[in-house]
Structure 1
Amino acid sequence: MKRTRGRVVDVITLDEFDRRLASGVRSLAGWRVTGLDLRSRGPALASVVVEQSLFLNCTFTPAVEEAVRRRGAVVVPRVPHVPLDTFRSALYSPRELYDTIDYADSLDARTYAWSRGEPSQDDALAQALHDHSIDTALETWVEGRSIVGVMGGHELHRGSAAYADAAHLGRLLAASFTVATGGGPGAMEAANLGAFLSAAPSSGLDSALAALGAVPTFERDIEAWADAAFEVIDAHSPGVESLGIPTWHYGHEPPNPFATAIAKYVRNATREAILLEVCNAGIVFLPGAGGTVQEIFQDACENYYADESSLAPMVLVGVTHWTSSVPAWPLLSALAAGRAMEGHVHLVDTVDEAMELLKPGG
């Protein structure tokens, strides 16, 4: 796979590397080569100009690495002793993060434990490089997609009526849009679940909700919680694609496996900004607390200063919740009054009403 951005050429497979050189390329200026084993490509590299090229996490023989550095290439090795691949070329799959039987030994858990430490200079560099690589991979993944975000509380339990409603919303949205969430448990998981099963008969979602209800929360046993999800996934694969954008900042909340593509960040500030940015067709805010309120007003701030052409709907679901329990709506509606965003901000009581506002032509 290759991506070309202006004069930058991303090369992430040996087949692509070999094909380009075989086509007669004489200079690698502008190339960004990531994660390749080039130990057998010494003669090929010697035959081309490597000045102004960049090699990230590539493997060379010592002599070839010295030669390409001397001839003007920039070689950036993987940062040692960190669990993350700092030069990823794709988003995570659920199985990559849950890569062991015991969650405590998984890539997800090991990365969270590492991220909680006092970062050294190398650790900080690794975190920045990793999150940049996720940015790049996510940019490719979202291209050409119409994306609606679903935000909501992580404490929502499987088996509850509100969880079923969030799954129903994900199912409805996925018929017209790509669904994106914060990638965690609760309402986020439910929306990704509904999207994943949106091409299956409604009975498939009903049976999945019943099966998942046997393990309502991750808090007592993450392995059992994740296993229940993977059993549903295995029964209904491949499922419909959706996106999760979680963060190791909240690493005590495991990522939900129903998001088929996971853009997991180390830094939460980056993650929050990107999560809202990719939702180009609007955001539904289900009942939630601190994190959801933050997302409402972070999105509102962007819309407050935007012109009409840049606006997308904000739909808050739960009249009592957003006017009384957590009264975000009065402030949001006051901010919107008289602004271009005013007609794009809505408060409804059901997910079906939310869907009516968001569906094409709604």
Structure 2
Amino acid sequence: MKHSRGRVLDITTLADLDRRLAAGARSLAGWRVLGLDLTARGPALLERSLAQSLFLGCEFADGDDEAVRRAGGVVLHDIPGIPVDPYRASLYAPRDLYDAPRYADSLDARAYAWSRSGGNHEEALAQALHDHHVDEALEAWVSGRAVVGVMGGHALERGTEGYADAARLGHSLGRRLTVATGGGPGAMEAANLGAFVPDGLDEALATLAAVPSFRPDVGAWARAGFEVVDRVGGAGRESLGIPTWHYGHEPPNVLATAVAKFFRNAPREAVLLEVCDAGIVFLPGAGGTVQEVFQDACENYYADASAVAPMVLVGRRHWTEDLPAWPLLQALARGRPMEPHVHLVDSVEEAAELVVDVVSRRDAG
């Protein structure tokens, strides 16, 4: 997630473009014109300074695109044969990804299959452009929100006590903060669920428990989630999921109200940690969760004292015996500004209370 200097203006409708041109704009520097039919707008555009302007996926009359390039604008046309919009200006909603009755026909499944098909340099460019624009949309979405991350294992099934604990954690955190997860199944879905449901969490857990896993039927699993979403309706609280098609065999959960889905996993992991300015709670997990613990620890290890965010590991036995990451994390933190910000607790209630208390004191100070 890169913060840019200067004015960047997204133009996504012809009405907005016409209004700004009619208001007397003489330079389009910093304008990004996205997916518009400009076949009748060439003369009006070419009357202006087009240096440092960008036209993404737009349609031009014959020769106008080359004229715009000669005038200093950058023109990138649609790339044929790809299932996603590489120039999208907003995050996904769950129903954008689950847009067909059968999961195999959905945008999510088609994008995963396309991403695994090998491809050429144009398809690699499309993925990079897509991830760039999702990153920019994510930066805009998190602005002004205090975001807390919840990390944990994808294998945790609905109907288990661990799943219910993760949901209760998300519920407690979601009253005060915006919950962000990796956007997948298991503990991630449970935390998004808890954050989303303002009341009636036990009823929602019972509904989901009827379809414990996305295996063997992703569609049935998603439909149970949408049943909860539709029941809660507009009363639901917002939360964020940041999944990746790199792990496309793990479908995105439908309980996150906003979804920043990336093709490349490495920038997605970095962004997921970066947006969590209110800290991260790590539930018991395996390889992926351990990676996230120490990736976050690395960020905190080198951070200025004012930028260190809380790290809370839940499950004393898991993190000291099953996967003893805690002793190493303690040793790494010793004597550093991060030392008072790493915690090991036994319950999700303790974790939620600790994070909310830290954020409250930070805001009060």
Structures share a fold, TM > 0.5?
yes
User: Partner residue of 1:206?
Assistant: 202
Q: What is the CA-CA distance between 1:62 and the residue it aligns to?
A: 1.9
User: Partner residue of 2:8?
Assistant: 8
Q: Of residues 240, 259, 273 in structure 2, which corresponds to 1:276?
A: 273
Q: Output the CA distance in 1 between the equivalents of 2:257 and 2:70.
A: 42
Q: Output the CA distance in 2 between the equivalents of 1:331 and 1:69.
A: 55
Q: Output the CA distance in 2 between the equivalents of 1:176 and 1:283.
A: 14
1:1-362 to 2 correspondences below 5 Å: 6-198=6-198, 201=199, 204-238=200-234, 239-360=236-357, 361=360
In structure 2, give the amino acid aligned to 1:116.
R
Name the stretch that deviates more: 97-106 or 118-127.
Answer: 118-127
In structure 1, give the amino acid aligned to 2:82.
V
How many residues are aligned here? 355
| Unaligned segments of structure 2, at least 5 residues | none
Q: Output the CA distance in 2 between the equivalents of 1:247 and 1:46.
A: 40
Q: Output the CA distance in 1 between the equivalents of 2:65 and 2:303.
A: 49
Q: Is the Cα contact below 8 Å between 2:87 and 2:133 reproduced in 1?
A: yes
Partner SS, residue 149 of structure 2: strand
Q: What is the CA-CA distance between 1:117 and the residue it aligns to?
A: 2.3
Q: CA offsets per residue over residues 14-44 of structure 1, 9 Å max, x none?
A: 2321221111112212322112222232342
Q: Output the CA distance in 2 between the equivalents of 1:29 and 1:235.
A: 46
Q: CA offsets per residue over residues 182-240 of structure 1, 9 Å max, x none?
A: 00000000000011113xx3xx2111100100000001111100000001101111211
Q: What is the CA-CA distance between 1:83 and the residue it aligns to?
A: 1.2
Q: Output the CA distance in 1 between the equivalents of 2:140 and 2:277.
A: 15
Q: Is the Cα contact below 8 Å between 2:154 and 2:187 reproduced in 1?
A: yes
Q: Is the Cα contact below 8 Å between 2:278 and 2:310 reproduced in 1?
A: yes
Scaled by the length of structure 2, the TM-score of the pair is: 0.94
Partner SS, residue 33 of structure 2: strand
Partner SS, residue 154 of structure 2: coil
Name the stretch that deviates more: 63-72 or 33-42.
Answer: 63-72
In structure 1, give the amino acid aligned to 2:264.
R
Q: Output the CA distance in 1 between the equivalents of 2:144 and 2:8.
A: 21
Q: What is the CA-CA distance between 1:47 and the residue it aligns to?
A: 3.2
Q: Output the CA distance in 1 between the equivalents of 2:331 and 2:61.
A: 64
Partner SS, residue 176 of structure 1: coil
Name the stretch that deviates more: 300-309 or 66-75.
Answer: 66-75
In structure 2, give the amino acid aligned to 1:355.
A
Q: Output the CA distance in 2 between the equivalents of 1:284 and 1:75.
A: 43
Q: What is the CA-CA distance between 1:263 and the residue it aligns to?
A: 0.4
Runs of 4+ in 1 over 6 A off after TM superposition: none
- Identical columns (%): 67
Partner SS, residue 148 of structure 2: strand
Q: What is the CA-CA distance between 1:5 and the residue it aligns to?
A: 5.4
In structure 2, give the amino acid aligned to 1:235.
R
Q: What is the CA-CA distance between 1:344 and the residue it aligns to?
A: 0.3
Name the stretch that deviates more: 351-360 or 4-13.
Answer: 4-13
Q: Output the CA distance in 2 between the equivalents of 1:156 and 1:42.
A: 55
Q: Is the Cα contact below 8 Å between 2:46 and 2:71 reproduced in 1?
A: no
Partner SS, residue 88 of structure 1: coil
Partner SS, residue 313 of structure 2: strand
Q: CA offsets per residue over residues 89-120 of structure 1, 9 Å max, x none?
A: 00011001001011111111111111112231
